[in-house]
Chains A and B, each alone.
Chain A
Amino acid sequence: MPYAVRRTGQAVLVIVATFVLAFLLLHALPGDAIVARYASPELGLTAAQLQELREVYGADQPIWVQLWQSAAGFLTGDLGTSLQSGADVEALIATALPSTLALASLGFAVAVLLAVGIAVAATFSGAEWLRRAFRSLPPLFVSIPVFWLGIVLLQVVSFRLGLVPVINANPVEALVLPVLTIAVPIAAPLAQVLIRSIDDTVAEPFIAVARSRGASPRWLLSKEVARNSLLPTLTIAGVLFGELIAGAVVTETVFARTGLGRLTQEAVATRDIPVLQAIVVISAVGFVAINLAVDLVAPAIDPRLRKAVHA
């Protein structure tokens, strides 16, 4: 299928471009990584010792050579060495990734459930005041900052009400509040887009025709509206993946969880360039993969896109 091949090719190109751009930007920071890490006066290293360190880390090479070496490393699975801890970056990532993946995927699933629930209640529930109430939820959710929500949830749900323990919690309990924290700001734009596209679909003449055939509201929602409203929402869902990464940084910091977000925060604080480079590339791969999946799934949902696909 040429469409799939073309889109995959584009995806790979985006990842390569991200890698190069991230590398160049990180190395364009004033002073190189070695200076940032070791040149502080407390360590008392001489200029000669710093130069030696540079040679060890390969930082004395021209930037193109460094880029090439780094790229070759990424392709063979060698992501480099953390300047901060001296540990292999791939080991750091391997410890951080599973916990973040659990947080992100659960958070996203909860966000989808929340968004669908709000959107359906806002468009199909019986009473008008109820529909209005649900319609005002997404704008409210959008304006809630993630860190604030995390702290409030901790304070109220955990400390005051004692509903979910955060100290000595089992892995499931430990996930409840972070997942909620990360889900709400993602559910909000999703619900907004979903409400909007349900509204648009319901206004279409074919919905009136379906009603004229005797369709019940339930039938309308499940057989006529759902699939038509899905596509715009799916596209937004792909874009919101970026939000998920940003959300993980704040959430993991607030709840003191290990994970990619926490690792990012620490790496930024200490300017741990190899770690940052790896995180940027992994995020890009995730982002591109999800949007690629959305693009490849879209024709399955809307037959009108299939023609363009084959052309």
Chain B
Amino acid sequence: MSALLTIDDLAVSYRARRERRTVVHGVSLELQRGEVLALVGESGSGKTTIGQSIIGLLPEGGRIERGGVHLELAGGPVDLTKLAPRAMQQLRGARVALVPQDPGTSLNPVQTIGDSVAAPLRIHRWGTKEAIRRRVLDLLERVGLDDPARRARQYPHELSGGMRQRALIAAAIALEPDLIVADEPTSALDVTVQRRILDLLADLRAELGSSVLLITHDLAVAAERADDIAVLRAGRLEEHGAARTVLREPQSDYTAALLADAPALSDASPRLPRLAAQPLVTIDALVHDYGRRGAGTGADAFRAVDDVGLQIAPGTTHALVGESGSGKTTIGRALAGFHRPSSGAIRIGELDVLAERGSRRLRRAVQLVSQNPFASLDPRRTIGQTIGEPLQNLPLGDGGVRDRRLLAERVAAALQQVALPAETADRLPRELSGGQRQRVAIARALIIEPQVVVLDEAVSALDVTVQSQILELLERLQRELGLTYLFITHDLAVVRRIADTVTVLRRGRAVETGTAQQVLTSPRHEYTQALLEAVPAPDWLRDARRGQEARTSTGQLEVA
């Protein structure tokens, strides 16, 4: 079997503010015909740049410095880096196709799904109008969209993320390409949808005999789906080999560190629950309706949270797990006092959250850290101003601070708490990395010493190494300050690492609640089982987890 794609000493640079910066430093790779090569790395590792170089679509300012990208085609080998623009245009979409990252923005919003899927066929003059129409319907059916004729007439905003990604895949395979570049194809999707999309890609690859270059930040996805794995770091190849070898006997320290940090690949047991007599947070029969014409009436009304109750013991972490639209953020925001639920009760200790909504006492009891560390900090204020602001808002004598020197001291202490140097106070958000910004967001939440912190997907936007550091920080702060966390996440692997107790949500209802150990190792509800099953993992890890589960259940038997 010969290599379909050979990347030979590829170097790529970008022009940024008048100077050229090399972002890929001589990477060599091989992808065999009909196989899957995963390109794994953190943000800034150059994985997407390599994908763009292959498909000839580097953004403005990007340039291939040296090296070649050789594709073995029926008509003989071609070097994609040396091809004339027009010849490259003819290859794109026909021999080399792209499955993009974010199905939400990757379809033309004013074009029907049918037209989007037909685009490659029309561009490459594949056949008559009627032939293309029939081919589009075939393709839509092939990627598992129900009622293809109707879907073809619909617009992207009428379809779910998973359905849009299916349509994009249909367009990618329309001309049966030799190579499919899939750039983070499932990063924007829920875990159960991710599984179905990856299954679809695997089926199509087998059927068409295409090769897939799978670009991903998620080692677990790579581990489950790839024949070979290439690990990139800062534009250099760290490791390249068969998936099993790379994962089980990594040669580079960096790969080993990545594997250790990837929560999905850990075979550690979930936390043993720490129990307390009295819960600190009690949520009781919470209901939240969204809708224009009052609660529960009218066609627009939508019940986001439906009769959810949970309790959190002081100093522990309760994870709220669910896919998009499950109501987890709505519950978190209700606990933080951001909106009034339609009915139900929320208490933090003696405090009635709903009655105290908007009061200083509630602000001091509960704080929120949100997902996006880029959007949650004011770009024009220094980090010191941002962290100090809550103290200035509280009244004097109720935790408020006005004295500038005292304020600076408190800010410095808060920065130290989240392991940032004191000089950070004078910086602006744009000068910090994503992980540093999230530390700042945590420092801002902690400076008024709340009892409860709502962490809404607080580590979801971060690279695994950074994610691991932030989780460690959260654990340390919990130990030292006795904090209670409501940890909202879609990622079951993170739950395994940090949670004491778990509630699994589906469409606003709590389908299962219990200790992390119990829910993750012996789930009772079929939805929880499906969620766990969908978490990508290579087979050997699944086997290891099953063994663990067996041990746990015998342990329980002995206790009983």
Contact = CB atoms under 8 A, between A and B. Distances in A.
Nearest to A207: B108
Contacts of A311: 300
Contacts of A219: 123
A219 B125 CA distance: 13
B92 A213 contact: yes
Contact of B119 (A205, A215, A228): A215
Contacts of A210: 108, 119
Contacts of A204: 105
Nearest to A228: B110
B110 A301 contact: yes
Nearest to A210: B119
B97 A213 contact: yes
Nearest to B181: A212
B155 interface: yes
Contacts of A303: 109-110, 155, 157
A223 interface: yes
Interface string B134-168: 00000000000000000000010100000000001
B100 A302 contact: no
Given A212-B55, A214-B89, A216-B123, 17 more contacts: A205-B100, A205-B101, A206-B107, A206-B109, A210-B108, A210-B119, A212-B57, A212-B92, A212-B100, A213-B97, A214-B91, A214-B92, A214-B123, A215-B89, A215-B93, A215-B119, A303-B109
A205 B105 CA distance: 6
Top-9 shortest CB links A-B: A214-B93, A213-B93, A212-B98, A213-B120, A214-B92, A303-B155, A205-B105, A209-B106, A214-B123
Nearest to A224: B108
By DSSP majority rule, is chain B's interface helix, strand, loop, or mixed?
Answer: loop
A153 B120 CA distance: 49
A227 interface: yes
Nearest to A214: B93
Given A205-B100, A208-B57, A208-B100, A214 B94 contact: yes
A223 B122 CA distance: 11
A214 B124 contact: yes
Contact of B108 (A206, A211, A212): A206
A307 to B, nearest CB: 8
Nearest to A302: B110
A160 interface: no
Q: Among A213, A227, A301, which residue has the most Cβ atoms of chain B within 10 A?
A: A213
A205 B188 CA distance: 14
A206 B89 contact: no
B132 to A, nearest CB: 13
Interface of A: 204-206, 208-216, 219, 223-224, 227-228, 301-304, 307, 311
Nearest to A226: B110
Contacts of B101: 205
B171 interface: yes
B102 interface: yes
Interface in B102-122: 102, 105-111, 119-120
B76 to A, nearest CB: 20
A304 B109 contact: yes
B90 interface: yes
25 contacts: A205-B102, A205-B106, A206-B105, A206-B106, A206-B109, A209-B100, A210-B108, A212-B92, A212-B97, A212-B98, A212-B100, A213-B92, A213-B171, A214-B89, A214-B124, A215-B89, A215-B123, A219-B123, A223-B119, A224-B111, A302-B110, A303-B109, A304-B157, A307-B157, A311-B300
B109 A228 contact: yes
Contacts of A223: 111, 119
Contacts of B168: 209
A301 B108 CA distance: 13
Nearest to B86: A216
A227 B110 contact: yes
Contacts of B155: 303-304
Given A208-B57, A212-B93, A214-B90, A302 B109 contact: yes
A219 B101 CA distance: 23
